[in-house]
Structure formats: C-alpha cells, structure tokens
Amino acid sequence: MIEIKFRVRNSETKKIMGYEFIRDKEWFCIVGGEEFDGIYSLGSECLREQYTELKDKRGAEIYEGDKLSPGAIRKYEFVVFYTDGMFGYKGFDDLFVPLKNHIKHLEVIGDIYENNI
C-alpha cells in the first residue's frame, strides 16, 4: 500500500492542525486523533509539509521543514527540503545531501516554525 502523508499547519499561527494523507488513491485526514475520509479537508490555505517516509535515529518521523542535528552537540542544524525528486538538506559545504544517505546519524530537533522539540 502506497501512502503519501502531510503534516498540516495553520498558515497564520503555524501550529499543527492535523495530518492529511493519500492511501490507495483516497484522501484522508486526521484531526485530534479522529480520521475523516476525502469529504473533509483541513483547507487550501494551510501549510503542508510532506513526510519523507524516513525516521530519524530515535524513530521520529521526518517531514519537510524539520531541523536535523548530527548528534548530541546541537551546534549544527540542517533543514529538510525537497528538490529534484528527493528529500535532503544543505551540508557543511552548502551542497545538497540526500537525506537517505545519512539518516542513521541524524535526529529531529525541531522545525522551521517552532523551537526545538
């Protein structure tokens, strides 16, 4: 089963409202732990961040806009983005690094809209 998942935020407050996903060609939505079918939507004015289908070294889901750190020293932060058909981040040399290549060393420490987790 193929599933495409999005974290959905209010475009003004940037707070997470819920999750939307496509499963078996059907649109679904989760708000407050309750699942709705394609009739319900969180709105077109919302911000959507796609799930990368990857988890960090602690098992947390990684979405577009998440900040990642390479370990206990949080001196470095990398922001996840999508380009040329893949998710990644800009590395130390400012070049694109595919996320899947280094996922076992990274952890989610927050996102671009909120402070550290």
pLDDT reported for residue 40: 57
Residue 117: is its pLDDT beyond 60?
no
Report the alpha-carbon distance of residue 54 to residue 28 in Å, rounded. 20
CATH of 3-111, one of 2.60.40.10, 3.40.190.10, 2.30.30.290, 3.40.50.720: 2.30.30.290
Helices (DSSP H) in 15-61: which residue ranges? none
Residue 97: is its pLDDT beyond 70?
yes
pLDDT reported for residue 102: 81
Domain boundaries, the chain: 3-111
Tokens of 88: 């990644």
pLDDT reported for residue 85: 92
